[in-house]
Amino acid sequence: MTSTTKAAPLPVLARMLIAGAGIMSLANSVTIPFLAVFLRTDVGLQPALIGFIIGSSVFFSILAGFVGGSLSDVLGRARLLLISLCGVIGSLVGLYLSDSATTVFAFNATLALSSGVFAPVGKALLGDLLPRERRAKTFSYQYVATNIGYAVGPVAGAAVGLAGDRRAFLAGAVGYGIYLIGLSVVLLREPAARATAAGDGPRQRVGSVLRGLADSARIVRVDRRLLFLIIAGLLLEAVHGRISSLLAQHLSVGFADGVTILGYVLATNAVTVVALQVSVSRFTTKRNPVTSITVGGLLTVAGMVGFALADGLWQFVAAMVVFSLGEVLIYPAEFAIIDRIAPEDNRGAYFGAQTFAQLGVFIGPFTGGLLLGAYGATAMFLGVGSFALASVVIYLIAGRRTGLAARVPDRRSSGSNAED
């Protein structure tokens, strides 16, 4: 009787989605974090233009994230996942062949669109495959697989000479190609999984997602608390969203072994996030989210100061440990604080509005590139790091005026991501 109560094994398609998260993050970690190095040393672009190209991808990611869910209801999740994987592969091959700012911008945009569609649709499919009580643990497996890929990839890429080299894009395309083949085989051999992935509910048109975006914009205008939280979140995202591009531009020019250092530093980020996730979640559940964000923001500033002063591998690694600890404190607290102010009947619109904070992913690299080109690396790290300090001030003021700084009842906590 006991054996019948044991949880059934995960469906094969669910296992493939978890393994695929690791494969994709491994492929991404030898390409995307080093894109700034490639643009600087191979294409010969200036820091401000590099920051613009890398930062602009967030606009395409936001668009893809909003539209992807509805497209999956129209085309079927499986078909859209396969199409988006083909788009990523084509974009990586296009980046390998690129030799101008225009072509790099175009293929970086298609890469952001394709990967931006895959992420939410893949999570939706994983949720389709599992009962509600098993989803949280399965998402945590996927999260761990993602960070394992990010921990291994940068060091491995630097060790074999791919970091910052255009051949890395071909290696990334091969990794995605392996996943595409594996996912296709599973879908062909598992009719039940294919039926689930195709979806059998009412089909939703893309216009419904655009209406959802309009609802989110309306809520931002009406709820001033949410507006302050989005501004503060945007400032934090400007620091955390593309820290790899800031480090890449500095290390690739200022240090003879800069690409190797970058690989170790990025791996440190992934390892630290995974290692500290459980212990930090215990800290955050005992405190209100404003406190967690305040501590995390100050650690973020300290990490940026560390990057500005570092002159060797271990100094950069130590600064990244501090910076990553701030990241782990901030991300779950941001979701918790939105959850706290959102009405039960309008929760989706509130979390949709939070997506506007991703615009910081453009502001950070672009501002960093301008500062680097005009004043040097120290000014870049300190200037971008000041965004985190400004965010802390906004959270403290908004928290006191709206009551958000009060102790939070013991509720569920959510996870964090390493570059996303």
219-235: average pLDDT: 82
Angle at 302 between CA 281 and CA 259, to 5 degrees: 95
* 201 vs 104, residue with greater confidence: 104
The reported pLDDT for the residue numbered 410 is 45
The reported pLDDT for the residue numbered 158 is 74
DSSP class of 11:
P
* 348 vs 47, residue with greater confidence: 47
Q: Kindly give, in sequence order, each residue whose CB lies less than 8 Å from that of residue 189, ignoring residues fewer than 6 positions away.
A: none
Is the pLDDT at 88 greater than 90? The verdict is yes
d(CA 378, CA 408): 38
Q: pLDDT for 283-321, tens place per residue?
A: 666 667 888 899 999 999 999 999 999 999 999 999 999
Q: pLDDT for 339-368, tens place per residue?
A: 777 776 666 567 667 777 888 888 999 999
Structure-token match 């994987």, residue found: 85
| Sign, Cα dihedral of 215, 211, 59, 414 | positive
Q: 158-172, 235-249, 312-326: which has the minimum mean pLDDT?
A: 158-172
* 196 vs 104, residue with greater confidence: 104
- Name the band, by pLDDT with cuts 50, 70 and 90, for residue 203: very low
Amino acid sitting at position 240: H
260-279: average pLDDT: 84
The reported pLDDT for the residue numbered 136 is 59
Architecture of the CATH domain 10-204: Up-down Bundle (1.20)
333 within 8 A of 293, measured Cβ to Cβ: yes
DSSP class of 164:
T
Amino acid sitting at position 83: I
* Token output for 128: 């389709």
Is the pLDDT at 371 greater than 80? The verdict is yes
Fold of 216-420: Growth Hormone; Chain: A; (1.20.1250)
The reported pLDDT for the residue numbered 278 is 67
Long-range contacts of 195-200 (CB under 8 A, 24+ apart): 196/13, 196/125, 196/128, 196/129, 197/13, 197/76, 197/77, 197/78, 197/81, 197/125, 197/128, 198/76, 198/77, 198/78, 198/79, 199/72, 199/73, 199/76, 199/77, 199/128
45-57: average pLDDT: 87
238-265: average pLDDT: 86
132 within 8 A of 241, measured Cβ to Cβ: no
* Token output for 311: 């002159």
- Name the band, by pLDDT with cuts 50, 70 and 90, for residue 409: very low
* 303 vs 248, residue with greater confidence: 303
% of the chain surpassing 90 pLDDT:
28
- Name the band, by pLDDT with cuts 50, 70 and 90, for residue 201: very low
- Name the band, by pLDDT with cuts 50, 70 and 90, for residue 417: very low
Q: Do domains 10-204 and 216-420 have the same CATH topology?
A: yes
Report the range out of 113-117, 287-291, 336-340, 387-391 with the highest average pLDDT: 387-391
- Name the band, by pLDDT with cuts 50, 70 and 90, for residue 196: low
* Token output for 187: 């879908």
268-273: average pLDDT: 86
416 within 8 A of 325, measured Cβ to Cβ: no
409 within 8 A of 342, measured Cβ to Cβ: no
The reported pLDDT for the residue numbered 419 is 43
* 112 vs 252, residue with greater confidence: 112
404-417: average pLDDT: 46
331-336: average pLDDT: 76
The reported pLDDT for the residue numbered 102 is 92
Average pLDDT of the chain, as a whole number? 80
* 95 vs 257, residue with greater confidence: 95
* 155 vs 315, residue with greater confidence: 315
Q: pLDDT for 16-28, tens place per residue?
A: 988 998 899 888 8
Q: How many alpha carbons fall within 13 Å on the CB side of residue 129?
A: 29
d(CA 42, CA 29): 19
Domain boundaries, the chain: 10-204, 216-420
- Name the band, by pLDDT with cuts 50, 70 and 90, for residue 405: low
- Name the band, by pLDDT with cuts 50, 70 and 90, for residue 334: confident
The reported pLDDT for the residue numbered 401 is 62
